[in-house]
Structure 1
């Protein structure tokens, strides 16, 4: 009841998985990844032991193809399993057991493996692969575009319920203390992919550094707009300067990554303020 894409970015050294399913909390079952090692999507009567087993094998130097052969050969229910893998060098491999419910199958290409089961037809997997190859942006953005394209091409024949994205890179996690660069889930939603994209965009707003071209001086129309929004949102303390009121807002909303020197503001923050009710 699931389709996924596993990918690798050789420029940023990121490994990731995006997945959607007519299954609650798919992000707790399908995706596994480790920076410098690889990424795994295990699905279709998922054997969750495949995740850690595959990562261990790839850490020992096994390729994606070798890893799939090893983890499936002694599994008595391998005919019901489906798995996609990217190894440390970006080599892809995908496996679909002959007992998986139709439509079921997968495809591989440069730095990706796409697979799905109980799909409308093979167009979902094809759309994911083609989109990954032709799309631009970060690995996370390409994975999300691919997942969305897969749904647009037919998707899970039983519908939608949950979606998730996991991307790892060395020291990419919060505070640089782990490799969990992006780890987002939508566990139960009528349109989980669109919701996952919305949450990802919020994640980037909160945690990605400001783009130089979006940093402007607080003057003229920007000054008036900022003053108006701070007042509307309740950050209009008369005993504080505009800069301090803005700082209070930024710290309350966890926008420390977007804080600028006094006299400047990130326009993405101002746009966020305008959207708040």
Structure 2
């Protein structure tokens, strides 16, 4: 009773899953991903053992289609009610929908992706996801979200909305470069979970990603004067501007966007917002 997409970035460096459902906390059950290996979504009468099993098979070099066949062949449960999508580090994705999954149920797969869903309003949900995926050139988290949003707008789960999740892994892309988990966001119970997931992803990008080097503003002239003034109004009055800006940014959870001698326009915008009352 879920729709999802598993996908790989164009450069092969990232893999992930986006999923939504009329189900509490879908992110705790459906998605799994491992850097440089692949991603899997298990749903309908989900077999959560598919997650480690699929990743283990992908890790030995088994292609996505063979992984799906292996999962189904080894499952002694209600296979006709299962649904699963798999994508590896290379090659096309693969999807399976059991004959007894609730209508509408089905999936599509191609190079680097697989989209699937069950108990949907119709096949247009999956078709819209595929079109959005193929039409997007954004980074993998936003590309997966675009596909999920398209499926939601096409009708999504015919029972309604409740939860959504996004999981993306890429080597060293996690917080401070100390993790491979690039994005791990969950909306467990919300009237509009896909929209809320989009809001959280925007916040995640602000707080946990590094700035575009080409966008940085030099901390001199009018920019320096404004930043000093605004930091002073927030209680950061030291003479070393880089140090004071970094200290303030740490309080605001923006430390990932600090570059000595410069300021990220997004950081400046946030500084303006939080100090506006004092200006």
Q: Structure 2 length as normaliser, TM-score?
A: 0.90
CA RMSD after TM alignment: 2.0
What are the superposed Cα offsets for residues 205-241 of structure 1, whole Å, 9 maximum, x if unpaired?
1222111232113456534653564356xx2345656
Map 1:1-277 to 2 at 5 A: 1-73=1-73, 74-219=75-220, 222-223=223-224, 225-227=226-228, 229-230=230-231, 235-238=234-237, 243-262=242-261, 264-276=262-274
Give the distance between the partners of 2:247 and 2:38, measured in 1 at CA: 41
Give the distance between the partners of 1:123 and 1:81, measured in 2 at CA: 21
Matched length: 274
Give the distance between the partners of 2:245 and 2:148, measured in 1 at CA: 37
Deviation at 1:12, TM superposition (A): 4.4
Deviation at 1:276, TM superposition (A): 4.2
Q: Structure 1 length as normaliser, TM-score?
A: 0.91
Give the distance between the partners of 2:66 and 2:11, measured in 1 at CA: 25
Contact 1:10 1:90 in 2 (8 A): no
Give the distance between the partners of 1:165 and 1:237, measured in 2 at CA: 37
Q: Segments of 4+ in structure 1 off by > 6 A?
A: none
Deviation at 1:246, TM superposition (A): 2.4
Give the distance between the partners of 2:243 and 2:172, measured in 1 at CA: 32
Give the distance between the partners of 2:252 and 2:148, measured in 1 at CA: 30
Give the distance between the partners of 1:11 and 1:201, measured in 2 at CA: 22
Give the distance between the partners of 1:185 and 1:47, measured in 2 at CA: 20
CA 1:41–1:238: 2 relative to 1, 3 Å? closer
CA 1:236–1:179: 2 relative to 1, 3 Å? closer
